[in-house]
Copies of this chain bind each other. A is one copy, B any other.
């Protein structure tokens, strides 16, 4: 059992795993997150137990699937975030990148964000909500890091950066989710509105006085 053979096997296993994930991707994107293991196995041209050998349980498969997309999205966000530009431009670019991603592949987005699981059933001890939370959390942490690295916030900067990281990501997420459902305006308008919000326009605006009695 020399190293070369082990590597061979490992390579083939990894390759198989990737094929399975791609098949699962197709099915999940077609049937939604309630896709059954049988359906995924059939799409991959095999049967259930193999899926279980590779991923443990349904949660494992979904986690692997989510990781792929999450990593891909985070990569593109990092590019926008790390660009050598003005802060406002970077914020707008990041927002736009995120929104463009969810606009381009809403099915993927729904899968990542609205688990609406499928992995809740059965015995017990299944760790629910494995997908959406990690993505938001990871985005939040990355953003926090960037903020802390590049913005001068004085004392307590680390905690402030983390709060803001998670808060901004949540703002982006919720606004994007709503926008994707209703499409009330163009992507550019949404980006602008959100950036305006972050730029303190809510605080700067005046009170409305013409209202009824208020």
Interface, chain A (partner B; CB < 8 A) = 32-34, 87-88, 114-118, 120-121, 126, 128-129, 132-133, 136-137, 140, 147, 149-153, 159-160, 162-164, 166-175, 177-179, 184-185, 189-190, 193-194, 196-209, 211, 214
Contact = CB atoms under 8 A, between A and B. Distances in A.
Contacts of A117: 115-117, 120
A198 B204 CA distance: 10
B164 A170 contact: no
A54 to B, nearest CB: 22
28 contacts: A32-B128, A33-B120, A34-B120, A34-B121, A87-B203, A114-B132, A115-B117, A116-B117, A117-B120, A121-B121, A133-B177, A149-B214, A151-B208, A152-B205, A152-B206, A153-B205, A159-B185, A159-B189, A163-B190, A163-B197, A164-B193, A166-B177, A166-B178, A167-B171, A167-B172, A168-B171, A197-B198, A199-B200
Contacts of A199: 200, 202-203
Given A120-B120, A170-B175, A198-B203, 5 more contacts: A32-B128, A149-B214, A152-B205, A166-B177, A200-B201
A176 to B, nearest CB: 9
A142 to B, nearest CB: 13
Given A194-B167, A205-B151, A184 B172 contact: no
